[in-house]
Amino acid sequence: MRHLLGIGDLSRDQIERLLDRADSLAQLLERENKKLPTLSGRTIVSLFFENSTRTSSSFDLAAKRLSADTVSIRAQGSSVTKGESLRDTVQTLSAYGPAAIVVRSPFVGAPGMVTRWTDAAVINAGDGKHEHPTQALLDAYTLRNRLGSLDGKNVWIIGDVLHSRVARSNILALTKLGARVTVCGPPTLIPREIEALGCSVSYTLEGSNEADVLYVLRMQNERMAAGDNFIPSVGEYAKRFQINGERLGARQLLMHPGPVNRGVELSPDVVDAPQSLITEQVAAGVVVRMAVFYELLAGRGEPEGGQKRATAVAPMPDGATR
């Protein structure tokens, strides 16, 4: 493994190796001093073209616990989100010789493009509607901790599957690990031919009581705005698809990538129910991201200068002046 661009690129063995690494790191983290010297003197750059507090702070803390130096570049809504500028930004940052670049972008495939312009390992922290591989890994890690193995387990992914990179990465990861996955939501929010990913489709919650796990997606705010045609109304959506105390079985596990819209996709009571793994998911985020850094970087030499060829430098996120 040289980069982590998507779950689609990984074999079952590679996924399990990452989860095993997370397991062994979790044991080390049980002591009070959570710092490991693994990446001391190496630099992790994070380049976020979309707003994020959770994912970025989780990556940041993972890097720090491995003793890496971190450089954070934020560029929301700036011109660097487009083609040439992304390249120039990456080439500039690569000149610092980073061991890894963590990229979040609204554009599908942006992290893959970044690999062409740097010798650093590239980690996809979410690209458009495509993939969010570390989220799927932390979800798989959380489930495996509870269930032992995912083989033959029945997982329902419920909500706005159409716009969700989390759904996509999770379908890929869970099926590779042997689970049976059903995606569920109104037809307007289920992509056509999603079955090609190896999952089943249901347009109602009927049958979800057979599931071992209900994985509920966040309803994006723009979906709930007046004039959006994907759902008739928030109330109507909740009536048909909200997971509440009646719909959540006593032995079913509940997951959600956060942040929750209480009263929309989940009723307030189930969020804190004993079946909920939501906080465990967040905690898993740090150790799984440590595992990703570890697998990509530990024992791998870092190129000096970091650039692939003598290349150029152009606009930085905020139109910085020299």
Complete edge-to-edge strand list for the sheet that includes strand 100-105: 69-74, 43-48, 100-105, 121-127
Binding residues with a second copy: total (CB under 8 A): 81
Residue number with CB closer to a second copy (180 or 291): 291
With CB under 8 A as the contact rule, the residue among 81, 92, 105, 208 that binds a second copy is 92
Question: What gap in Å lies between CA 54 and CA 140, rounded to an integer?
Answer: 18
Is 6 a residue that touches a second copy (CB under 8 A)?
Answer: no
Positions in 28-87 near a second copy (CB under 8 A): 29-35, 40-43, 50-55, 57-58, 60-61, 64-65, 69, 71, 73, 84
Greatest CA span in the chain, whole angstroms?
62
Question: What gap in Å lies between CA 194 and CA 97, rounded to an integer?
Answer: 40
Within 10 A of 201 (CB to CB), how many other CB atoms are there?
16
Residue in this structure with the two tokens 């209480």, named with its chain if needed: 262
From 3-11, 88-96, 177-185, 204-212, give the range in contact with a second copy by CB under 8 A: 88-96
The minimum distance between CB 31 and a second copy, in angstroms, equals 8
The minimum distance between CB 141 and a second copy, in angstroms, equals 13
Please enumerate in sequence order all residues whose Cβ is within 8 A of that of 144, keeping only pairs 6 or more positions apart, or say none.
19, 150, 177
Is 166 a residue that touches a second copy (CB under 8 A)?
Answer: yes
Is 196 a residue that touches a second copy (CB under 8 A)?
Answer: no
Is 160 a residue that touches a second copy (CB under 8 A)?
Answer: no
Q: Write the burial class of residue 148 (CB in 10 Å: 0-12 exposed, 13-18 middle, 19+ buried).
A: exposed
Is 259 a residue that touches a second copy (CB under 8 A)?
Answer: yes
Residue number with CB closer to a second copy (227 or 301): 301
From 1-9, 15-23, 186-194, 305-313, give the range in contact with a second copy by CB under 8 A: 305-313
Residue number with CB closer to a second copy (175 or 276): 276
The minimum distance between CB 1 and a second copy, in angstroms, equals 19
Per-residue DSSP letters for 130-192? Answer: TB-HHHHHHHHHHHHHHHS--TT-EEEEES--TT-HHHHHHHHHHHHTT-EEEEES-GGGS-T
Is 97 a residue that touches a second copy (CB under 8 A)?
Answer: yes
Is 135 a residue that touches a second copy (CB under 8 A)?
Answer: yes
Within 10 A of 108 (CB to CB), how many other CB atoms are there?
13
With CB under 8 A as the contact rule, the residue among 14, 145, 154, 220 that binds a second copy is 220
Is 27 a residue that touches a second copy (CB under 8 A)?
Answer: no
The minimum distance between CB 307 and a second copy, in angstroms, equals 5
Is 272 a residue that touches a second copy (CB under 8 A)?
Answer: yes
The minimum distance between CB 94 and a second copy, in angstroms, equals 8
**103 in Cβ contact with 93 (< 8 Å):** no
CB burial of 82-94 (b: ≥16 within 10 Å; e: otherwise) equals eeebbbbbbbbbb
The minimum distance between CB 100 and a second copy, in angstroms, equals 13
From 182-190, 191-199, 225-233, 251-259, give the range in contact with a second copy by CB under 8 A: 251-259
The minimum distance between CB 207 and a second copy, in angstroms, equals 26
From residue 117, alpha-carbon distances to 69, 87, 124 in Å are 21, 7, 15
Residue number with CB closer to a second copy (92 or 180): 92
The number of residues in the chain equals: 322
